[in-house]
Amino acid sequence: KLPYFQHSLELLLHSVLEEEATSKDPIPDALLPSVVDFIRSFPVYRETVVRCTRKTEVALWPYLFAAVGSPKDLFSDCLEMGELNTASSYLLVLQSLEPASVARQHATQLLDAALDS
C-alpha cells in the first residue's frame, strides 16, 4: 500500500488546475482532461476531486467541474457507492453552489442514506 498516493493525486490535480485555470494565455494542449482521466481510473477519484475542490478558490470551481463533472452527479455517485463521508464533503461544496432549498434536499438524501446503511 502506498500511504501518500491519494495525496499525490490530489496535489497533481490541484497544481494542474491552478496552473491552467489562472493562465492568462490560452493553453493549446491542456493537461487537466488527461489528469482527470488518470485519476478517474482509481477508486479514490471522487474523494480526490472533493478534497482538491475544498482547497481551491471558489472562482476556479467552474473550470474544475467542467473537467470532472457536475458536483451533483459526483454527490449522487458517492451515495450510490456508499461513500457517505465523501458525500458529506460534496454537501459542503453544493451548499456553496446551490440555493438553500436544493442543498437541504441533498442533506436529506445523505441523512436517508446514512440511516439506511
What pTM was computed for the model?
0.92
Supply the mean pLDDT for the chain: 95
- Measured between alpha carbons, how far is 61 from 74 in angstroms, rounded to an integer? 14
Q: Is 43 helix (H, G, I), strand (E, B) or coil?
A: coil
When pLDDT is cut at 50, 70 and 90, the band that residue 26 belongs to is confident
When pLDDT is cut at 50, 70 and 90, the band that residue 16 belongs to is very high
**What are the helix (H) ranges across the chain?**
5-21, 32-40, 45-54, 61-68, 71-81, 84-97, 100-116
The answer to whether residues 85 and 46 touch, using CB atoms and an 8 Å cutoff, is no
The string of pLDDT tens digits covering residues 80-94 is 999 999 999 999 999
- Measured between alpha carbons, how far is 75 from 98 in angstroms, rounded to an integer? 13
Task: Take residue 58 and report the three cell numbers written for it.
Answer: 471558489
CA 69 vs CA 16, 40, 60, 74, 104: distances in Å: 16, 11, 14, 7, 21
